[in-house]
Structure 1
Amino acid sequence: QDNMAFTGKYEVESDENYDDFMKKIGIPSDIIEKGRNFKIVSEVVQNGDEFTWSQHYPGGHSMSNKFTIGKEADLEAVGGKKFKATVKMEDGKIVADFPNYHHTAEISGGKLVEVSS
C-alpha cells in the first residue's frame, strides 16, 4: 500500500442505516432529517502515516481531523464532540474508536468505504 493511497476527494454515494446510526450517537431527529440528503465530501490528505481528514458539508461548514497512525490525537466526532483516540492501520484499513462507535475506512475500487458501528 503506497503512502498516499487514501489521498483524494470522495462524495458520499450511499448511506446505509443512516437513521439508526445517527440516533445511536445522539444526533437530534431534526438534524438527522436535514442531513439525510446532504452531499458530503470527504477530503483526505495522506503523507505517509500523517493524515488530514476533512468533511465538507453544504453551506460551507467543514470539520477536519489531523492524526498520525499509532499516536494519540485530539479528534472531533460527528456532532462536534471532542475526544482523544489512537488511530491504527490494520490490513490497509484505518481503524479508530470514537466515543460511542467503532470506525473503519478503506479504499476499495477507487472509492472510500467507511463503516461506523
Structure 2
Amino acid sequence: MAFAGRWETETQEGYDEFCKLLGIPDDIIEKGRDYKLITEVTQDGEDYTWTQIYPANARVTNKFTIGKECDMETIGGKKFKGTVYMKEGKLSVTFPKYDHTSEITGGKLIETSKIGSVVLKRTSRKI
C-alpha cells in the first residue's frame, strides 16, 4: 500500500528535453514546466487506480492489475494496451514511446520516464 495516497510534484529533472522528444508543443511545455502535478493512487491488493491531474484540471486515470494486460491512456489521449509489473518494489510499464517506473524512496514518490538516454525524473511528496 506504499503508493496509495495523494502526491504533489516537488521537483522534476529533464522535463523540457523529454517533452520535446514526445512532440509536445513549446507552449504546452512552458505551461507545465512549473506546474505541481497531483497524483492520486488507490490500491486494493494488486489492483490500482492511478490518476494524474494536469493544468486546467485535465485528468488521466488508468486502472490496472499487476501483471495483467489492460487498456491505458496517455496525457495526449492515446490509448494503448500495457502491462504493469512490480519488481523490487517498483512499478514499471512501457508506454508507446517510453518506459516508466514508479517507486517510493524515503517517503517520496519517484517517477522515472526514459526515451533512450533522455530521462524525466519527477519527485513528489505526500499531501
| TM-score bucket (shorter structure) | over 0.9
Greater share of residues in strand: 2
The percentage of aligned residue pairs carrying the same residue is 57
Deviation at 1:106, TM superposition (A): 0.4
Give the Å deviation of 1:74: 0.7
Change (3 A) 1:58 1:78: closer
Alignment equivalent of 2:67, drawn from 66, 70, 78? 70
Superposition TM-score, scaled by structure 2 size: 0.85
1:5 corresponds, among 2, 7, 20, to 2
For structure 2, the 5+ residue unaligned runs are 115-127
Structure 1 segments of 4+ aligned residues over 4 angstroms from their partners: none
Distance in 2, matches of 1:102 and 1:112, equals 17
The alignment covers a number of residue pairs equal to: 114
CA RMSD of aligned residues (A): 1.0
Q: Distance in 2 between matches of 1:78 and 1:21?
A: 14
Give the equivalent residue in structure 2 for 1:116.
113
TM-score, normalised with respect to structure 1 = 0.92
- Residue 53 of structure 1 corresponds to which residue in structure 2? 50
Q: Does 1:92 align with 2:61?
A: no
Q: Note if 1:33 corresponds to 2:16.
A: no
Answer 1 or 2: higher relative contact order, Cα 8 Å, separation at least 6: 2
